């Protein structure tokens, strides 16, 4: 049998013992708990509620939160590693964990006050899902064309407007909401607020019927005179654009990790399939044309993985990671679509049915080139940094 098909996965990058143990534990969890639920959650378009307590119990919902606040006290790199492993089985579950760690927790850790750390991070580490609320119907790639407004009324702020396409909208208990407090100042009026579930005037609206990552909730949020106390302002008033930009730069690495894991999962299923499926009297994995395609996919996945790992390591080291994050997200998301498509081809007619899981990976992959900055936005970022 071809060593291309049956050999062990190559060494990825140097992992510490703790990183390896954490990754292996998450891999076992994903295969034991996510795999049996993935198809059912995709069809039902909702997360199995039994999974959320498991994710918290394993420490996956507060990876960088300090241990004194109930978190794992680990690194951003480990967050990316965990998102990758979950995505090998179900990218819809992985994005819930990704948004929690790379967007919501990162924003509060970087921009929150000590009091906000104690109050919000401890909740996020133990039992509260977070959501990151920037996008609106008219504010996608032009992220700062916000129609959502906030004005001061006494000591409090009052938010009015709508948000669209918010990941974790259904499950969240805490929402980072961006609104403009001074439209005449343009993006310099944007401010970040922490809105808690149950606040009067706040409603979770329509849940989107999506092509992929269907276990993940994507919802509209409605704010009607939602009153927020001053202690729930995240960062300085008028500096929300910095919170948004810098957090999204980190979040792109998480999406890159999601796409790497997704592609690896699709390839894993395909490697098994081509060793079982026979045509012309032998397994199709014995044909050189199939072997070459498997080899190309494995190489592309590894290239994307190393781009993602490099960006995550740079972020942890306090180095400039902006271009590395854009490159990782751009390449990984487009790679995942190519790999998932080819995996369907190698499954033949079966790949076009729901009897085999590769069609789900194909549907899940599409979002990678869209959310947290489209591929063209990543290209623009990379080009600007090269040409400045």
275 and 169, same domain (yes or no): no
Residue 21: give its domain's CATH number: 1.10.540.10
pLDDT band at 5 (very low <50, low <70, confident <90, very high): very low
Q: Could you give the dihedral angle defined by the CA atoms of residues 24, 29, 98 and 310, in that order, rounded to the nearest 10 degrees?
A: 10
> Is residue 41 one of the residues assigned to a domain?
yes
16 and 78, same domain (yes or no): yes
The pLDDT of residue 298: 98
At which of 182, 210, 238 does a domain end? 238
At which of 130, 162, 180 does a domain end? 130
The pLDDT of residue 281: 97
250 and 375, same domain (yes or no): yes
- Calculate helix-pair angle for 358-365, 35-44, nearest 10 degrees: 60
59-93 per-position pLDDT tens digit? 999 999 999 999 999 999 999 999 999 999 999 99
Cβ count near 353 (within 10 Å): 11
User: Whole-angstrom Cα distance, residue 218 to residue 171?
Assistant: 10
User: Whole-angstrom Cα distance, residue 68 to residue 61?
Assistant: 15
Report the pLDDT averaged over residues 192-205. 98
155 and 96, same domain (yes or no): no
The pLDDT of residue 143: 81
148-167 per-position pLDDT tens digit? 999 999 999 999 999 999 99
105 and 138, same domain (yes or no): no
259 and 184, same domain (yes or no): no
At which of 85, 111, 130 does a domain end? 130
Q: CA separation (Å) from 160 to 146, 197, 357?
A: 11, 16, 42
Which is the catalytic residue, given 85, 171, 359, 372? 372
> Is residue 322 one of the residues assigned to a domain?
yes
pTM of the model: 0.95
The pLDDT of residue 1: 30
Q: Report how far Cα 150 is from the mean position of its chain's Cα atoms.
A: 28
Residue in 128, 41, 34 with CA at minimum distance from that of residue 89: 34
Q: What percent of the chain has pLDDT over 90?
A: 95
208-220 per-position pLDDT tens digit? 999 999 999 999 9
pLDDT band at 286 (very low <50, low <70, confident <90, very high): very high
Q: What percent of the chain has pLDDT over 70?
A: 97
189 and 206, same domain (yes or no): yes
> Is residue 4 one of the residues assigned to a domain?
no
Residue 302: give its domain's CATH number: 1.20.140.10
**Residue 7: is its pLDDT beyond 60?**
no
**Residue 387: is its pLDDT beyond 70?**
yes
25-34 per-position pLDDT tens digit? 999 999 999 9
pLDDT band at 49 (very low <50, low <70, confident <90, very high): very high
> Is residue 1 one of the residues assigned to a domain?
no
User: Whole-angstrom Cα distance, residue 364 to residue 211?
Assistant: 7
> Is residue 147 one of the residues assigned to a domain?
yes
357 and 275, same domain (yes or no): yes
The pLDDT of residue 4: 35
The pLDDT of residue 144: 84
180 and 261, same domain (yes or no): no
The pLDDT of residue 13: 63
> Is residue 230 one of the residues assigned to a domain?
yes
**Residue 182: is its pLDDT beyond 70?**
yes
User: Whole-angstrom Cα distance, residue 345 to residue 357?
Assistant: 13
368 and 248, same domain (yes or no): yes
User: Whole-angstrom Cα distance, residue 23 to residue 18?
Assistant: 9
223-248 per-position pLDDT tens digit? 999 999 999 999 999 999 999 999 99
**Residue 334: is its pLDDT beyond 90?**
yes
296-316 per-position pLDDT tens digit? 999 999 999 999 999 999 999
Count the domains in the chain. 3
381 and 253, same domain (yes or no): yes
Average pLDDT, the chain: 95
Residue 140: give its domain's CATH number: 2.40.110.10
Known catalytic membership, residue 372: yes
> Is residue 156 one of the residues assigned to a domain?
yes
Report the pLDDT averaged over residues 133-142. 93
Phi, psi at residue 62, to the nearest 5°? -155, 55
> Is residue 3 one of the residues assigned to a domain?
no
81 and 119, same domain (yes or no): yes
Which domain range does residue 339 map to? 242-387
């Amino acid at each position: 049998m071809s060593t291309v098909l049956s050999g062990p996965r190559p060494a990825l990058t140097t992992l510490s013992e703790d990183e390896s143990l954490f990754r292996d534990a998450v891999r076992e969890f994903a295969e034991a708990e996510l795999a049996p639920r993935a198809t059912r959650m995709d069809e039902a378009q909702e997360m199995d509620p039994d999974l959320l307590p498991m994710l918290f119990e394993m420490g996956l919902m507060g990876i960088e939160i300090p241990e004194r606040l109930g978190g794992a006290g680990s690194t951003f790199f480990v967050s990316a590693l965990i998102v990758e492993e979950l995505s090998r089985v179900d990218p819809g579950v992985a994005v819930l964990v990704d948004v929690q760690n790379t967007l919501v927790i990162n924003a509060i850790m970087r921009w929150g006050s000590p009091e906000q750390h104690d109050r919000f991070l401890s909740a996020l580490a133990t039992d509260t899902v977070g959501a990151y609320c920037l996008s609106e119907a008219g504010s996608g790639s032009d992220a700062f064309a916000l129609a959502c407004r906030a004005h001061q009324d006494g000591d409090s702020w009052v938010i009015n407007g709508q948000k669209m396409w918010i990941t974790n909208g259904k499950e969240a208990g805490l929402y980072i909401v961006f609104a403009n407090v001074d439209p005449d100042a343009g993006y310099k009026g944007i401010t970040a607020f922490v809105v808690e579930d149950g606040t009067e005037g706040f409603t979770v609206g329509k849940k989107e019927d999506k092509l992929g990552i269907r276990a993940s909730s994507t919802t509209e949020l409605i704010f009607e005179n939602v009153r927020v106390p001053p202690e729930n302002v995240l960062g300085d008033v008028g500096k929300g654009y910095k919170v948004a930009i810098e957090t999204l730069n980190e979040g792109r690495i998480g999406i890159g990790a999601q796409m790497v894991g997704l592609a690896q999962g699709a390839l894993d299923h395909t490697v098994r399939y081509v060793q079982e499926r026979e045509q012309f009297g032998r397994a199709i994995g014995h044909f050189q044309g199939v072997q070459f395609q498997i080899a190309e996919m494995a190489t592309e996945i590894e290239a994307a993985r190393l781009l993602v790992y490099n960006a995550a390591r740079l972020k942890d080291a306090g180095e400039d990671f902006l271009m590395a994050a854009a490159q990782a997200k751009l390449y990984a998301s487009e790679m995942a679509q190519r790999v998932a498509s080819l995996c369907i081809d190698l499954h033949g007619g079966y790949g076009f049915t729901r009897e085999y899981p590769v069609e789900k990976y194909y549907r899940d992959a599409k979002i990678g080139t869209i959310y947290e900055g489209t591929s063209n936005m990543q290209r623009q970022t990379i080009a600007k940094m090269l040409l400045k």
